[in-house]
Amino acid sequence: MKSAIVTGASSGIGLAITKKLNQMGFQVYGLARDFSKTDYEHDSFYKIACDITNTKQLVEVIKQIKEQAKEIFILINNAGVGYFGPHETLSIKEIETMVATNLQAPLILSNLLLRDLRQSKGYVINISSITAKKSSTFGCAYSATKAGLSHFGISLFEEVRKSGVKVVTIHPDITQTPFYEYLDFKEGDLPESYITVDCVANAVETILSQRGGTVITELTIQPQRHMITKKNKQKKETK
């Protein structure tokens, strides 16, 4: 059975992708800091508690997965964290956390797994953000990390495409997920003003369903209407 590694697999987009991959017959090694609120169970879903910003722990976890998995076919860099507001109001810790989670960890994971993915002619799928493609007032640091992830994906594909590895970047727009739980804004109230986690999971299925030799290298998913709802909550970390 082919294996996938999904970061941020405890909720939101990561959990939806995990469910989709299980339905498609993959075994999934899901990484997240905390699975205590994750009710989903599957014989082919292995929950691994891991702080991906802790490089030493991350390296050890990947080593253990390699010893267990028969064929690593997919790496999905999904875990993300965002802090928003005027740039001068962000703490140094918040900036460091965004860089470590959104950019550093995907680069390290790709580095650790590329040899395996060359053997399986598999996929690296990066969950970036629509903010990587445009200016993002009050989110410039977050969007910078996502833009870095997107550029990494474009460049990596050119580097490894001859070996059969597929590198894909998904740019979701505002999505109905726990990501906004502690932020001062969220998706709009109308269904056409946001996308769902299943929209992203279905996009992953579409990417994996292409004929051999065809690669969807970039995919942007947007709602029909642009609308956000402001909240009166303090800025707080979310994943």
Q: Compute the distance between CA of residue 239 and CA of residue 129 in angstroms, rounded to an integer.
A: 14
- Indicate the pLDDT class of residue 176, thresholds 50, 70 and 90: confident
Q: How crowded is residue 203: how many other Cβ atoms within 10 Å of its Cβ? A: 22
Q: Report pLDDT digits (tens) over 20-69.
A: 999 999 999 999 999 999 999 999 999 999 999 999 999 999 999 999 99
- Indicate the pLDDT class of residue 232, thresholds 50, 70 and 90: low
Share of the chain above pLDDT 70, in %: 92
Q: Which residue has the higher pLDDT, 175 or 177?
A: 175
- Indicate the pLDDT class of residue 155, thresholds 50, 70 and 90: very high
Would you say 10 and 38 are in contact if contact means Cβ atoms under 8 Å apart? yes
Identify the CATH homologous superfamily for domain 2-230.
NAD(P)-binding Rossmann-like Domain (3.40.50.720)
Domain ranges in the chain are 2-230
**Pair of tokens at residue 210:** 């292409």
- Indicate the pLDDT class of residue 237, thresholds 50, 70 and 90: very low
- pLDDT > 60? residue 239: no
- Can you give the three-state secondary structure of 72-128, one letter per residue? EEEEEECCCCCCCCCHHHCCHHHHHHHHHHHHHHHHHHHHHHHHHHHHHCCEEEEEC
